[in-house]
Each structure stands twice: as C-alpha cells, then as structure tokens.
Amino acid sequence: PGPAAGCTADLLTALAGGSAPVTLIRPTGVAPAPGALRWALPGWTGPLDLLLVASPDGTEPGLAILLEQAYRRGCSVVCVTPAGSPLADATAQARGLAVPLTTSPSETRAGIEPGGEDRPAGERPALPIGPGLLWSLLTPLLVLADRIGLLAADPSAVEALADRLDQVAERCGPAIATYSNPAKTLAAELADTVPLIWTEGELAAAAGRHFAMVLAALAGRPALAAELPEALTAHGTLLSGDFAAGADPEDFFRDRVEEPETLHARVVLLREQEPDVTSPAPAARELALQRETPVSELEPTDADSPLQTAAELLAITDFAAVYLALASTP
C-alpha cells in the first residue's frame, strides 16, 4: 500500500507503450493495519501472466497469501523486498525470483532493513513516501522489464536515469535559493491553494497522479489530478466556483489570525514536451487565465529518453511536496 505502488504500475504502463497490459492489484480489508490487508488475483490470471510484488519491508502476511494464489495458478512471480524478510522466504516457496531491495541510508534509518520484521508492528516507524523509496522499488522492475523485452531500460539507460536524478537533486536541494530552485518555487506557488494538476501525455499523467497522492499523504494538502483535454471539463467549474481566484476578494478588515485566507485553485500544468498544434496545453492555459487562475508549468528540459522525462517530473514534484510538508510543520 502507498503512493509507490500506483506510480509503479502507471510508469510501467506508460513506458511499455501499450505492448502489454499492466494491472494494479489494490488491497482490500477493514483497515490499513498490519495483517488486515488482502490482495486477490484477477479471475483471468493464469500461467502466461507475471506477478510483480514490491514491498519495502516484506512483512505483510497478505502478500504471502497472494503468492500462494499465484503459485496455484501457475503464474511467474518476482518480488522486490529486503533479503531475509518473510516475503522473500514466501517467494522462494512459490518458486519465484526475490530481488533484494537496496535502500538509501535515510530509508535504513527509517526502519526499512533486513530483520526489521522482528520488531512489533506498533514499534516500526512509518515507511517513507519520498522519491528514494519509489526508485528503490521501481528500478529493479525496470531492469526486469528490459530483460523480457517489455520496455527499453538497458544498463546505460539506468545509469543515465541515476545521473538525471542526481542533477535534479542538485537543482532542488535545500541549499539552492528559491528563485533558482524549481521545487521550492513550485512549493511556494502552491501554498494556500488547491492544486489542480493537469497533465499531457502518459508519463506526465503518471507523475501527476503520484504528485496528488504524495501531496495528500506527505504534506496533508488536497489536490486533484486530471488528464488534458478532459481536465478542462472535469475541473472547469472549480475555476468559476468558490475556489476561483476572484470568488472571495481580499477583505481588509479580516482577522488574519482567527479567519485564515480562503483557499483558491491553482493549475499545475505537467507536460512531457513542448506543445504542438494538436496540444491542448495552450487552450488549458488560456482557460485558466480567463478565469483569473494562476498557472504553474513544469516541463522536462533536454530529456534524452522517456525514463529521464519521468525522473525529472517525479523528482521535482516529490521535492515540492517535501518542502510543502516542511513549511506546514509547526
């Protein structure tokens, strides 16, 4: 459970270009508590299907039950999970491939390490949601997808992806001033707003949905994501209703302590490339400006591959969500 799973499925779908369907299996259960979640394979699953499981700690018993279902149906199974975890053992029993999860030092301190499953559930720290966890889980699956011919992610492409993430980290780090830091700039623009995340392209759509989830889960900020051109219809009323920029003009006599400022909508436009004559981006920008709604735009620069495009969009928006979370921490 968490934002990483949905983003992983979205990115594999976009990068595969429709060559194979990718289905996200969502958990069911009475509560998101350890041991309460269950996953069920779709009814059509059989020997020609591949089950990918990504787990940052490998202790959820419902996933072991899922692997048993896959084994009975003849599915191939690959799990990305810490070595020595219960899920890694269950993968071996299901005759699957267990890829050891590689974590950053900060993630290890947060409790994602082999043997962490021995700690009582109530004593385990909350799992991180930031970019490190997503790429730790996703990168082995990208390499696997390249090996089976689903998408292009050879070793040189993965190295270029890592370099791109490093470059974004340098541009968006806390030591970089806001005026030259795209993540800090975006976070400042989204303060006291309801972000409407409009996307163009499958990779941008995946990044937009992930951004909305991380804003809610990490920064506690509501956000809505939609793909263009449908977003113009889905969110058009929000630009002229109570959240419109001109719906609640500034009251000079407002008590700024007891009466906080009303939240207004702000459009965040995520694109994969410069818009062409068939792009809905210009119409989206024009509609927002007609409704006096400010627009923040984010587009990768000099991306040499879809992987680098996804990396830049995800990394900058993840940094922005972290800055918003820090700004709202008392």
The amino acid present at 146, given as its one-letter code, is D
Distance CA 283, CA 242 (A): 22
Q: How far is residue 59 CA from its own chain's centroid?
A: 22
Distance CA 259, CA 81 (A): 48
- DSSP summary character for residue 47: T
List, for residues 176-188, the tens digit of each pLDDT value. Answer: 999 999 999 999 9
The torsion of the CA quartet 70, 76, 81, 83, rounded to 10 degrees, works out to: 110
Q: What is the mean pLDDT of the chain?
A: 85
Segment 230-245 mean pLDDT? 84
- DSSP summary character for residue 173: S
Instruction: Say which range, 3-7, 71-75, 128-132, 148-152, has the weakest mean pLDDT.
Output: 128-132
Q: Kindly report the pTM of this predicted structure.
A: 0.85
| pLDDT given at position 12 | 93
For 102-214, where are the E strands, in sequence order?
193-200
Whether residue 126 is predicted with pLDDT greater than 50 in this model: the reply is no
List, for residues 275-316, the tens digit of each pLDDT value. Answer: 677 889 999 999 998 988 999 999 988 888 999 999 999 999
Q: Which two tokens stand for residue 301?
A: 């620069």
Whether residue 119 is predicted with pLDDT greater than 50 in this model: the reply is no
List, for residues 247-282, the tens digit of each pLDDT value. Answer: 455 554 555 455 556 788 999 999 987 667 788 999
Tell me: cis bond preceding 222? Omega within 30 of 0 counts.
no
Strand, helix or coil at 318? Answer: helix
Are the CB atoms for 189 and 266 separated by under 8 Å?
yes
The residue among 218, 207, 201, 228 whose CA lies nearest residue 316 is 207
Are the CB atoms for 7 and 225 separated by under 8 Å?
no
- State percent of the chain over pLDDT 90: 64
**Distant-in-sequence, close-in-space partners of 150: CB < 8 Å, separation ≥ 6:** 12, 16, 19, 20
CB-neighbour burial class of residue 330 (10 A; exposed 0-12, middle 13-18, buried 19+)? exposed
**Distant-in-sequence, close-in-space partners of 159: CB < 8 Å, separation ≥ 6:** none
